[in-house]
Amino acid sequence: MTKLDRQVVVERPLADVLGFARDWRNIPRYLDYIRDIRPLAEYTEGLGARYSLDLTFLGRRMSTQWEVVAFDENRGWTFKGSLMGVEALKVWRFEPLDESTRVLFTMQYDPKPPVVAPLADALFIRRRWEQVYGRGLRNLKQLVESESH
């Protein structure tokens, strides 16, 4: 099992950061590997919300779907999705720090098939995800801090 952990402190109150980050239309603004996202249900927030995504990863254009499998309006959510046959959980958590907000991101996945995939994951796939989500958190920080509220 591979687990990535990243975090950033955004110099804005929790309500501002949560409001921006959970609006599905903003996801490609901070996660720049996502080219397009479309809701697959009438409701676009909360448990069971589903999205279709077009993205670029490892130089390839791909499509996937995400589903919100855990949701707390004041703390964060968890997406479940599959890419290249590998299912992942992507957990977003938000913690107030006075007038700032700590954003914690965790991704867990199990590389498949069990013989070759762990080596490929260790050599380059994990590093690429670390870069993607490290950049995504920096983008989120910059976008939310620069927005006028």
**CA 33, chain centre distance (Å):** 10
- Alpha-carbon gap, residue 12 to 16, rounded angstroms: 6
Residue 114 pLDDT class (50, 70, 90 cuts): low
pLDDT of 135 over the 80 cut: yes
pLDDT of 122 over the 90 cut: no
pLDDT of 128 over the 70 cut: yes
Mean predicted lDDT score pLDDT of the chain: 92
**Lowest-confidence range among 11-20, 27-36, 54-63, 119-128?**
119-128
Burial of 59 (0-12, 13-18, 19+ CB in 10 A): exposed
pLDDT of 149 over the 60 cut: no
Topology (CATH) of 2-146: Alpha-D-Glucose-1,6-Bisphosphate; Chain A, domain 4 (3.30.530)
DSSP 90-130: EEEEEEEETTEEEEEEEEEE--SSTTTHHHHIIIIIHHHHH
pLDDT in tens, 69-87: 999 999 999 999 998 788 9
Mean pLDDT calculated for residue range 85-105:
95
pLDDT of residue 68: 96
Regarding predicted confidence, which is higher, 1 or 13? Answer: 13
Residue 115 pLDDT class (50, 70, 90 cuts): low
pLDDT of residue 49: 96
Q: What is the CA radius of gyration of the chain?
A: 15
pLDDT in tens, 11-40: 999 999 999 999 999 999 999 999 999 999
Looking at residue 138, its amino acid is: R
